[in-house]
Structure formats: structure tokens, C-alpha cells
Amino acid sequence: MSVWSDVLIGLAFVAGGYWLIKTIYQWNRFRRSIYIEIYSSYFEYAFRRKNLIRLSESFYLNNEFGKHKIFYQIAQGKNEKTPQAYILILIPSGIYVLNVKNQSGKVVLKKHGDYKQYYTEKGKKGQADKQHEYLFKNPMDESRFFAKRIEQRIGATKIPVRSVIIFPEHAEITWDGTPENEIPVIHRKQLIQTLKKENEKNERVLSDDQIDELYHLLADESIELEKNS
């Protein structure tokens, strides 16, 4: 009996160790992601993350905005090889499309044309660091294209669809020329502050029922696919 007890205790330690390592790994991913700005804690996100309907609400956003909905959408633009992930946040002043980028280093923004990313690759021992320049598609063009698709899908032109471009905290953002005022370009930690500012200065156009209706119009197809997967 004592042998089996030792085996069970050993298995419990292994399982506990695995759970702890997995939790630490997932926490580190969470704290480096946009989700830390949307959900109240890692535990809330962990509870919600495997279900689209649960992911559609947040204790944190409920405290800041009241009625809201969150929808995650992957879309591929015209002549684009790589799909772009978007987050749609529905609050009383309209629909906000979050275009979340992961570029770090120095990022040079332009109203028109590609953005530039400059980053340094650490050289091996005895070698100099290497400077790299990388062009990537203007996120404002991506967001405008996607926003038009959302407007066509909901068929309600009077409901504003506004875009926000989000970069990591460690990205150094600079403008080449006059900054764009139409679409905010921000760091991750400025998200809620930016949404609150937009929500306060713009007219309330969506009731609680309308927010629910729009969410289902946008999300029901994905929810049904999730149920059948």
C-alpha cells in the first residue's frame, strides 16, 4: 500500500509541476499581449479564452464602459498573403477596430505608403551589431479596408466604425511628416485611455440591445463554427 501511496504522491508532484510551468508560461504570454489591457486579470482571461461567447465580455471593460461586446476577427485584405487579426470592441459610441501590431524597435509612420521598422540584431562575440530595415504595409490602409467590410456587413452606415492602431510598449514610434489625426496610433497601455476619450467625446449611438444585435450579426457564424468543431 505504501508503494502505491508513493507512486500517487509522485504523480501528484509531476502533475502539479506541469500545471505550474504551464501556468507561468501562459501568464508570460498574457502579460506581453493586448489581452492584459482588455481583461481584468490573467485568471479572467484563462476562464474565458476557450469560448468565443465568454471572450465577448470583460469585467474590466464593463467597469469602464458599461454594456460592451468584444469580437475577434481574422481577415485577409486584397492582394495580401498573410491574414491580419483584428479585435472589435462595441461600446455605446460605436464599433472600434483594433489593429494590433507586434513590430518593436524604431517604427517610422507615414500617412501614405509603407511603414519602416528599424531594429538591431546583436552580433556574436567579437562581431558588431547589425542594423536592419524592414518595410511593412501601412496599418491605416489595412484598417480602412477592414472597416469598410464591417460597414458593408452590418448595413448601417450611421453606426461609426473607428480604427485604432496599437504597437507594443517597447516600440519607438516616430512620424515621417505630419501625424495622422483620423486614426489614433498608440502604445498598448494607452488603449483604455484612448477608448474612454473617444467614447466621451462622441455621441452615444448604440443602446444595450443594439450592441447585442450587432455582436450577433458579426459573430454568430464564428460561434456556430466553434460549436461544430
Interval 70-112: pLDDT, tens: 999 887 766 667 778 899 999 999 999 999 998 888 999 888 8
The pLDDT value recorded for residue 79 is 65
- Does residue 127 belong to any structural domain of this protein? yes
* Domain presence at residue 35: no
Please count the structural domains in the chain.
Answer: 1
40 assigned to some structural domain: no
128 has a pLDDT exceeding 80: no
Q: Is the dihedral of CA 213, 219, 225, 229 positive or negative?
A: negative
C-alpha span between 30 and 181 (Å, rounded): 30
- Domain around 144: 52-228
The CA distance from 88 to 114, in Å, is 24
Q: Is the pTM of this model over 0.75?
A: yes
Residue 183 resides in a domain? yes
Per the prediction, the chain carries an average pLDDT of 85
Higher pLDDT, 165 or 123: 165
Alpha-carbon distance of 20 to 18, in angstroms, equals 5
Which residues, including other chains, have CB under 8 Å from residue 164's CB and lie 6 or more apart? 96, 97, 98, 99, 183, 184, 186, 191, 194, 195
In a domain, residue 23? The reply is no
Assess if residue 16 is contained within a domain. no
Q: Which tens digit of pLDDT belongs to each residue from 150-172?
A: 998 888 668 999 999 999 998 99
Alpha helices by DSSP H, 72-207: 139-154, 191-201
In a domain, residue 157? The reply is yes
Place 34 in a pLDDT band, splitting at 50, 70 and 90.
Answer: very high
CA angle 172, 74, 199 (to 5 degrees): 65
Given a cut of 60, whether residue 144 has pLDDT beyond it is: yes
| Residue 226 confidence (pLDDT) | 66
Nearest Cα residue to 92 out of 188, 227, 219, 198: 198
Least confident window among 37-46, 125-134, 192-201 = 125-134
